[in-house]
Amino acid sequence: MTEEKKNEAVEPEATEPEAEATEADVKAETPAEPTPEGETTEAVTPEAETPEAKAEESAPAPAALTGVVWGTGRRKSSVARVRVMPGTGRILVNNREYKEYFPTLQYQNSVTAPLRITGTESNFDVLARLHGGGLTGQSGALSLGIARALRKIDTVYEEALREKRLLTRDARMKERKKYGRHGARRGFQFSKR
């Protein structure tokens, strides 16, 4: 063997990660540079290369900025598919204004409760498709759907919505009919003769 080969075998070269220094490492190690006025300025790394900036770039955009947020609500046998988007506070239910669709104040208050509690009545538009059940079930389903969509938009709303029980699915359903009975519990009329 020649001497060169022996030296290579004895002294391994630096591994690639140690040999390569990134630009950020070099900038971080550079001392303060003097300016013509005699003041010193510190070497500043660009914001895009800091770990915080990299995390911000890779994080998904908040739901409020991307446009439409979906929420699904259910109550009794009703299902509401709700879309919440930035807007002026308009609520459309099956292509009709909610005050026209829900004629009584009780149903209207139930629908707008999540928006009132979070203080976002005039910030978002709501488009909803409802099917199944009656007005009571549909208004409850719509309320739950709006509340779930608001929670997706900003988790700050969750505490207020949960405190008023607007994020809780009402599990009460119609009890099934049993055989040997008229309904779930009502028996057939008894005839003595």
Domains of the chain (ranges, CATH numbers): 64-163 (3.30.230.10)
Q: pLDDT tier at 32 (50, 70, 90 boundaries)?
A: low
**pTM recorded for the entire structure:** 0.65
Question: Does residue 19 surpass a pLDDT of 50?
Answer: no
pLDDT score of 193: 86
Question: Is the confidence at residue 77, as pLDDT, over 60?
Answer: yes
Spatial CA neighbour of 114 closest among 154, 61, 79, 78:
154
Distance of CA 136 to the CA centre of its chain: 27
Q: Please list, in sequence order, all residues whose beta carbon lies within 8 angstroms of the beta carbon of residue 175, skipping any fewer than 6 positions away.
A: 184, 185
| Interacting residues of 131 by C-beta distance below 8 A, sequence separation 6+ | 78, 79
- pLDDT recorded at residue 26: 46
Sort strands 33-34 and 40-41 into parallel, antiparallel or unpaired.
antiparallel
The answer to whether residues 130 and 80 touch, using CB atoms and an 8 Å cutoff, is: yes
H-state helical runs in the chain: 3-10, 16-19, 23-29, 51-58, 63-66, 98-101, 105-118, 135-153, 157-163
The single residue listed with the structure tokens 């929420």 is: 71
What is the average pLDDT across 6-30?
A: 49
Which pLDDT score is estimated for 60?
39
Q: What is the pLDDT of residues 125-151, one digit of tens each?
A: 999 999 999 999 999 999 999 999 999
Instruction: Look at residue 159 in the predicted model and tell me its pLDDT.
Output: 95
User: Among the listed ranges 64-73, 75-84, 174-183, which one has the minimum average pLDDT value?
Assistant: 64-73
